[in-house]
Amino acid sequence: MSFEMWAEKYRPKHLDDMVNQKEIVERLKSFVKSKNVPHCIFAGPPGTGKTTAALCLARDLYGEGYREHLMELNASDERGINVVRETVKTFARSRSIGEIPFRILILDEADNMTSDAQQALRRTMERYTETCRFIMCANYSGKIIEPIQSRCAPFRFTFLPREEHDKHIKYIADCESVRLLPDGTEAIFEVCGGDLRRGINTLQAASSMNKPVDANLVYSVTGKASPVDVQKMLTTAINGDFLGARKQLRDMIQKYGVAGSDIIRQIHTEIFRADIPELWKIKLAGIAGEIDYRLVEGSDEEVQLSALLARLVEAGYEIKK
């Protein structure tokens, strides 16, 4: 077992190493081949390889010295307009030395940028296209202003499918000589839903216990890391306690940083398992779908999801009647 974060250790280094997002990888490879990259938006849920793809692209493009041609900024940490004015501009306008005439700026979690900053960015992008290409990574592309979207090639990243997820997790377990039982792999997928970073972190935390990793161990680890008890929240809502359910939702989002898309996916699964009349299941699924869509368009995950909770309260009330 090695003693660093496995999610980093096993982060693919080249586009060829990437196990998933095949179509995206193919397109990116064609960029490398032609030695030209447009401005890009990498949109998709967490842990699906957006940042990895951007880093791999840069490495394949510039070779091992790629760091000199690359800047990584994280909008969540530096989302103000001043960063765009100063840092980004300075980087964007300086010419790249070498074969490729432009540098690459990876702007991670770009959907967390204020719209003012995005406006400023739009002008910078336009002015310095010659010398700098932007890759914006975001969970929701809808939160990036349209003028920027229209200047970028869009790439939609999706959760890893089951087989690819399992393959990768098993591969890491093998390399680290961790005894991973089949139900352990299954549990990791169930809990992390194809978010590979979380999956790997879960695997590592579970193996730190020095026990074979089975479903129980995975559940106990994730229970401690993020008590995302969607089922409990659902029950609270259906029993009519809206404020209680909203509090649980808030804890998930604020304290444990669970993504809204994750929560709604789990709610959707739970609806069909819940002990409610069949007719209601499809009704609630429809409402979940509507909220899922609004989540993409809207700006506040908690607000959207609590609207769904209120519908659950309503359903619980109707069912009892």
Which of 2, 34, 150, 177: binder of other proteins (CB under 8 A)?
A: 2
Take residue 60 and report the two structure tokens written for it: 């394949």
204 binds other proteins (CB under 8 A): yes
Which of the ranges 57-65, 86-94, 251-259, 275-283 carries the binding residues for other proteins, by CB under 8 A?
251-259
* Strand 132-138 to 40-43 pairing: parallel
240 binds other proteins (CB under 8 A): yes
Q: How far is the CB of 99 from other proteins (least distance, A)?
A: 25
Taking residues 261 to 300 in sequence order and writing x for each that binds other proteins by CB under 8 A, - otherwise, the string is: ------------------------------x--x--xxxx
Query: Alpha-carbon distance 309 to 315, whole Å?
Result: 10
- The sign of the torsion formed by the CA atoms of 178, 189, 295, 245 equals negative
Query: Alpha-carbon distance 107 to 61, whole Å?
Result: 18
Residues 158-184 as b/e (b if ≥16 CB within 10 A, e otherwise) read ebbeeebbbebbbebbeebebebbeeb
7 binds other proteins (CB under 8 A): yes
Complex with other proteins: residue 164 or 176, whichever CB lies closer? 176
46 binds other proteins (CB under 8 A): yes
Q: Which of residues 98-137 bind other proteins (CB under 8 A)?
A: 108-109, 112, 115, 119
Q: How far is the CB of 34 from other proteins (least distance, A)?
A: 26
Which of 197, 260, 261, 276: binder of other proteins (CB under 8 A)?
A: 197
Please identify which residue in the block is written with the tokens 């660093």: 4
Which of 20, 185, 261, 306: binder of other proteins (CB under 8 A)?
A: 306
Q: How far is the CB of 42 from other proteins (least distance, A)?
A: 13
302 binds other proteins (CB under 8 A): yes
Check: CB of residue 96 under 8 Å from CB of residue 102: yes
Give the total of residues touching other proteins (CB under 8 A): 68
What residue ranges bind other proteins (CB under 8 A)? Answer: 1-5, 7-8, 11, 46, 51, 55, 72, 74-77, 108-109, 112, 115, 119, 142-147, 197-198, 201-202, 204-205, 208-210, 221, 224-226, 240, 242-243, 246, 250, 254-257, 291, 294, 297-300, 302-304, 306-307, 309-311, 313-314, 316-318
